[in-house]
Amino acid sequence: MPSSTCHLPNGNSFSVTPVFGGVNFKSNDLNLHHSAFPPGWTVAIHTEKPVDEGRESHSDTKQDGQGKVRQSSFKQPTRQNDCIFISSISNPSSMDYKPPISPSRQIAMMLWATLWWYFHEPEPDLHLPATAASAATPVSGRPRGDWRVNIKREGIFQGRNMMQKMERMGLIANEDSSVGTESIESRAPASWERMFTSRRSFWQLDPRIFLFTLIPAVPSLSASSSSPMISPYGSRPASPNIDFFRTGGDGSSAPSWDQQHSQTHAQNAANGPYTSSSHLPTYYPPPPTQYIFANGVRHPLRPRPPHQGETFYSRYIPSVGQYLSFRVPVLGPAKPKSNIAPNCSSLTVPRINSPPPGPSDLDYLHKWMNDPRVNSSWGEAGPREKQEKFLVDGLSSRHSFPVFGCWDGKPFGYFEIYWVKEDRLGRNIGHVGNYDRGLHLLIGEQEFRGPHRVPLWLSSLVHYCWLADFRTEAVLLEPRVDNQKIIGYLTDAGFYKEGEVSLPHKQSAVMRINRDSWESPAL
């Protein structure tokens, strides 16, 4: 039975209900103002399997160049036999919202959300059918193929050049990379009939390319209507919004973390990486390469990392029923400033007007670093001033930046994401790419430890590295050689041991994962 709920990384969620020949997506947001999606749409989905000659039946359908296939209703994913297309859209009232400036971009957004739901379904058997060469090989040892879903040129995809536009956005592909002999004016070129999307390529698409919001038809609509993101009934978001924890303007104290835990989620999504006051996608491609020298190493000039307090990654994890997010920690409360409404962009963060009543990021770091378990690896135990200097150094680094991991907004660990080439690891191993990334790991909260959570946050960190720069081809870690537990976790997550390196303070195993061997984040 297909999943009945689709949780998107921007906090929106949709009910997915079976209908004749497919499924219907319906928004769970009670108030559609500022929603990134129309109220709903219907997706036709079925499974096609080839039919051997002489075994046809009345239900078989002829596919051009594909032979005969038998259609059946979709029950669970198959490796390459599922076919989908969007058959209809439920658009909001034109009295409330202007039509999208680019209808094809809105269609791409809905297809992306549909694929997000589809690739959260249980993985099918990826082993290829037996051939003469593999007939004697046990099933577990047979070759494996990619998980693909076919995108049919039917329904709203029949629009002129619609499939071509979806391909240019990277959503769909075709193995035929030739120019073709048909005229560009042809409304039904044969090469566009059977496009596909693979799981591997889908998870390397940045969601910010596709998520945007509709523009209110009346300017006062957005000001007078509460957003679903700040409603206690809205979808849970990315990470805590610092302003939510400030002392109220009437002098009353802000609610405690536990009392307002669920409301915090809804408030924060409005300041996540997917919102923009311009109602346009927030994705920007990485800048062109420029080279500089640092400590005798020639490396690309690095773009600025996210700002303090900025949430740069968010994803709902169905196996634990929580949102996982990563944000940059905040060093300390800023000086009071005038209460200016923030520009809701992924490139800006809300102004901090007064210190939060709960633990600060520095409090968390001080607590974690003084845990004997953590100190045995990091060696940063000591007074608060020592962790403050540690965080200042991290925020001031030009080749790395500090990260807080959060489950449903609550910090659970500290990480560092760095560029390997100018790091001491790169200087010691020598053979690294210009855009290879490295990770340092620390799990501080006991309640979020355990082998069932490691693949979730570890694969998400790797996922972010792929999304942040498409030129990144590898992610590396250098755990101490005697830390067999973390080496085992890394191996289970797809890393392999490339060798060892002697650093001044430890002997490290060089663990590596390559983009071309990575499938998807853990769900």
CATH number at residue 379: 3.40.630.30
Radius of gyration for the chain, computed over Cα atoms and rounded to the nearest angstrom = 25
Q: What does the pLDDT look like over 283-295, one tens digit per residue?
A: 888 889 999 998 8
Mean pLDDT estimate for the chain:
80
In a domain, 349, yes or no: no
**CB 318, CB 119: distance < 8 Å:** no
Within a domain: residue 23?
Answer: yes
- Domain for residue 229, yes or no? no
Express each pLDDT in 82-97 by its tens digit: 999 999 888 766 656 6
pLDDT (tens digit, 9 = 90+) per residue, 396-452?
Answer: 999 999 999 999 999 999 999 999 999 989 888 878 999 999 999 999 999 999 999
Tell whether 188 and 308 lie within a shared domain.
Answer: no
Residues 210 and 303 in one domain: no
Tokens of 313: 């990654």
Mean pLDDT of 189-205: 86
Strands 437-443 and 410-419: antiparallel
Q: What is the DSSP letter of 145?
A: -
State pTM to two decimals.
Answer: 0.83
Please give the residue that has the higher pLDDT: either 261 or 390.
390
Q: Reply yes or no on whether the pLDDT at 315 is more than 90.
A: yes
Confidence of residue 144 (pLDDT cuts 50, 70, 90): very high
Q: What is the average pLDDT across 224-243?
A: 34
Same domain, 205 and 319: no
Using the 3D structure, point to which of 178, 193, 214 is the last residue of a domain.
Answer: 214
Q: In this predicted structure, what is the pLDDT of residue 55? A: 58
CA angle 248, 251, 257 (to 5 degrees): 45
Phi, psi of 375 (to 5 degrees): -65, -30
Domain finish residue from 214, 241, 265: 214
Show the tokens assigned to 496. 């392999």
In a domain, 170, yes or no: yes
Do residues 475 and 462 lie in contact, with contact meaning Cβ atoms separated by under 8 Å? yes
DSSP letter string, 173-213 = B-S--S--SS-TT-SS-GGGSEEEEEHHHHTTS-GGGT---
Query: How many separate domains does the chain show?
Result: 2
Report pLDDT for 191. Answer: 66
Q: Quick one: 481 and 387 in the same domain?
A: yes
Same-domain status, 325 and 191: no
110: three-class secondary structure by DSSP: helix
Asked if residue 522 belongs to a domain, the reply is: no
CA–CA distance, 321 with 74 (Å, rounded to integer): 25
Residue 223 lies in a domain: no
Confidence bin at 311 (pLDDT 50/70/90): very high
The residues assigned a catalytic role are 478
Q: In this structure, are strands 82-90 and 148-152 parallel, antiparallel, or unpaired?
A: parallel
The answer to whether residues 495 and 370 belong to one domain is yes
Structural domain includes residue 107 = yes
Sequence-ordered list of residues with C-beta below 8 angstroms from that of 286, at least 6 positions apart, any chain? 303, 468, 469, 470, 471
Q: Which domain holds residue 39?
A: 5-214
Crossing angle for the helix pair 454-468 and 484-492, nearest 10 degrees? 60
Lowest mean pLDDT among 117-121, 254-258, 498-502: 254-258
Phi, psi of 401 (to 5 degrees): -150, 150
Measured distance CA(460)–CA(316) in Å, rounded: 11
Q: Are residues 170 and 309 located together in one domain of the fold?
A: no
pLDDT(488) > 50: yes
**Residue 497 belongs to what H/E stretch?**
strand 496-503
Does residue 228 fall inside a structural domain? no
> Which of 179, 195, 214 marks a domain boundary?
214
Phi, psi of 95 (to 5 degrees): -75, -25
CA-CA distance, 471 to 465, in Å (whole number)? Answer: 10
